[in-house]
Amino acid sequence: MSKKQLALALTCALSFSPACAIAFRDTMALPISLQQCLNSTGVAVMYPSDMNYDALSRPQNANYQPHPKVIVVPTSSEEVAASVRCVAAEKGDVKLSTRGGGHSYAAYGFSGEVVVDSSQMKGMSFDDDKKEVTVQFGQTLGPLAVAMGRKGYALPHGTCPGVGIAGHALGGGWGFTSRKWGWLLDHSKCARKCW
């Protein structure tokens, strides 16, 4: 048992709180090896007992109330890769999913026991010579469209500003200008794999 689990166990024993007991059960359900591996990466790790967990586990479609066992909040590609490697080391016993903008109609971004959250990965940079923009997977359509528009560029994309660039591009990306320019995916040059 880790120090955090021990502290949680003591708190639950003293408080007799059902919510606390559920949080403890969830924490214990994740293999210790995985918890230790994630802790060693330096990535921010949120368990159901953590304060930010509820906000981070809320999908756009409120019909779903996902309850991942842990949410990791990376701030760099290296932290994403390290987190993915930790889950891969469990040899298929633990499922991972990625939350982009959270707009999957069926909350698929939260389908894993480990969720990689994108809220701290919203970087965006322009290469004016190549007329290319590079975005991290947490960026959403609204801010991206505005930043591109300021530079005189545009892309086909959907109508909701909160939709994530990652899920949107992976699904094609259909919008008002698609008859003329095609899908967002038609203009995507490359995606970087992080593992």
Ligand X SMILES: Cc1cc2nc3c(=O)[nH]c(=O)nc-3n(C[C@H](O)[C@H](O)[C@H](O)COP(=O)(O)OP(=O)(O)OC[C@H]3O[C@@H](n4cnc5c(N)ncnc54)[C@H](O)[C@@H]3O)c2cc1C
Residues that bind ligand X (CB under 6 A): 60, 97-105, 108-109, 137, 158-160, 163-164, 166-168, 170-175
Q: Could you tell me if 158 and 168 are in contact, meaning their C-beta atoms sit under 8 angstroms apart?
A: yes
Q: Closer to ligand X at the Cβ: 48 or 175?
A: 175
Q: How far is the CB of 136 from ligand X (least distance, A)?
A: 9
Q: How far is the CB of 5 from ligand X (least distance, A)?
A: 28
| Main-chain dihedrals φ then ψ at residue 175, nearest 5 degrees | -155, -170
DSSP codes, 108-140: GGG-SSEEEE-TT---EEEETTTTEEEE-TT-B
Q: Closer to ligand X at the Cβ: 4 or 187?
A: 187
Direct distance between the N- and C-terminal alpha carbons of the chain, in angstroms, rounded to an integer: 28
Q: How far is the CB of 113 from ligand X (least distance, A)?
A: 13
Q: Closer to ligand X at the Cβ: 31 or 171?
A: 171
Q: Closer to ligand X at the Cβ: 9 or 124?
A: 124
Q: Could you tell me if 164 and 102 are in contact, meaning their C-beta atoms sit under 8 angstroms apart?
A: yes
